[in-house]
Structure 1
């Protein structure tokens, strides 16, 4: 958190803080990074990715692993104090910068996911950016288990009581479930605006016009709309007290619908088993609808929750349940299939390879007025890696060309530009450098060495061909004309 010096007046003796060097939130600000010691899973990922080393003792970083028990009492006190520090004003935070985005309050915290889970960082980021107005449909799978292991839940609310509205439906119909959210929200919004116009003489034309024509494209605009809705509710309650001029029913209906005048962010979340396999028909239907929904595919490349079974997202040469001799077929290219519609925002991301790209893609997807799908590389215990180094594996996946980072934004084509931008920089390492750091690939070299050689060669060919195809498709339109 970043906060004013006066907030430290009652800080415990062991509470750690430092001066905040940047001036973007004013002079004399202070900064603290506090760990919730009792909730830490010991995954080690934060230590691994921390770039700051101790100049005197290089084995130490700005954050280090230590035994929990000796720290528990004092760090519990520090954590409780940390929670009393005020959050920064969301309207003042530059959410396009990775550093600043992490000053947004997370509304997804302390889940029961595996230590080092590759899915939860993406979910947490979405909760920070849009959580106070998010409505989430969650497919059955890991994310529905750690997201809804009732009576507990990692989904939280802010001090105003706002947080994500979350629900889980069946495995096979999550896209349709979320699509229903969007249709209902749209209908409620239309009804609220109709009632505003009907009651404009009682409410006041100026407030009605401002509510109907509000620009809610950024945090400041959303805050202003919330203030207008608060003023509207006060006015409506006042009208009810003074007799309502025979319009009691309309006023009560508008009171029940007024929150739908504030922009809602609809997210459809799930794993690859849902998106590539069991729920693909519904997902395709929803993407084809043109409706303003955001799909986040947490791609672990297997059915993680049920024990690591093969899915259409499982890559060639990888071993999984139902593919004990290595998967012989290439991974389904879900992103390319979605791009074929031409009006769907599509991105492929990997936080460990490029966190700026991840943030940019999520912001662009949510801002796009239409369907969007983000496919997020998510390391998993089923991959057979040391989960402490999961972010390194994400980078290796991108560097090998296996996981190309890109964004496909239909808005760019309206400007005469190629809608596809290839954001990763080419193949830097052979596929084996990435693949054979994982048991799911390596084990085949022990059980079926000749088959392993054959499949990894074919998998490398898949990577080469896919990369060439994306390079061709991502060429600026002018250079494409020259090639022709």
Structure 2
């Protein structure tokens, strides 16, 4: 990084101590001349300013530049504190009108209320989410701040997410919707949004990736392709959860600075029509974390009035450290998400956990899965336990960041064998994604348990 200080070019390598050195270098000359000093009054007889007065003016100008550089760098280097999980007081919402709607409408309802702009592009089965946003915007529907959301249709999914990236970089709450190959086209920008720690929510109707043939039906092969982008991944199992956990995603992203990919099963949930309880926008507004919204988005926006630099090129000596430095935000994210869930529970009366166990409290065999199939599995678990079996089910809601602590806290100590069912298949891999996370979590405990993996539901072919 280069700064021109009083005519000298100083090169400062970026390391842990570099920010302090930069500020020290910037502040030193700025303190050498008093801003309040009176200018010398020696003026030539012909009315021209003496050379000494010119020198003074130049010095004052240099001081002002130095002070400006100092203030600018101080803002750029004052990183927000690590996110803290806390549950605020929330006034319960008594009037939650029951309305029949599908999962896509539930997601777009929350997204419209918690966004200021949206860039959309159609792809099945996510298309109707963008259509709802566009219709409501054209009708003048207001979000939680009493504003109409600006909705713009782009020419591709890549264009939609690139526009979202620029919008959140400017400090605007933004969202979009997609599925399948459309999500794959967004992946390069997902890395950028996550790497720059921008609050943002992407709603996905999960759909299979076209391989030997095209299929528009559901599995998790598209969202699993995004698990290393740095996006948090939150899964809803039914239409009511799409509304509630969609709200959790928006709130948790503002509070944690981690962008969220909120997904639910395409067609199985996105097009399932159910009578659900809607959350009024005036009640939803209680959950907007105003302080964190300012600190984590507005104050970090690209603005010529208070410039910062973003999207730089980095050499090998600093890229590693900068990447690892973001780890504290991801370490804090699970607790932030749970706090947001607890606030939604206070607001709506419907409680959620990162991982939820149901079944026998002394189960020896459990199944682990996520998505709409969990409701079918829950019915099977109830049936088997009534027949004398001793089994259970762990439903995974927060898939990324993976929290081993929260996973182990819900699993009975009596468990001897675990079957992990993935709704995706990775050819050539040692195991599928969810299975590998569970297996490594169990291995780290040092307690021997049998963990087996399986695949189900590719392109909506159920059990």
TM-score band w.r.t. shorter chain: 0.3 to 0.5
Between structure 1 and structure 2, the one with the greater Rg is: 2
Q: Which structure is higher in RCO with an 8 Å CA cutoff and minimum separation 6?
A: 2
Which structure carries more strand by proportion?
Answer: 2
Which structure carries more helix by proportion?
Answer: 1
* TM-score, scaled relative to structure 1: 0.37
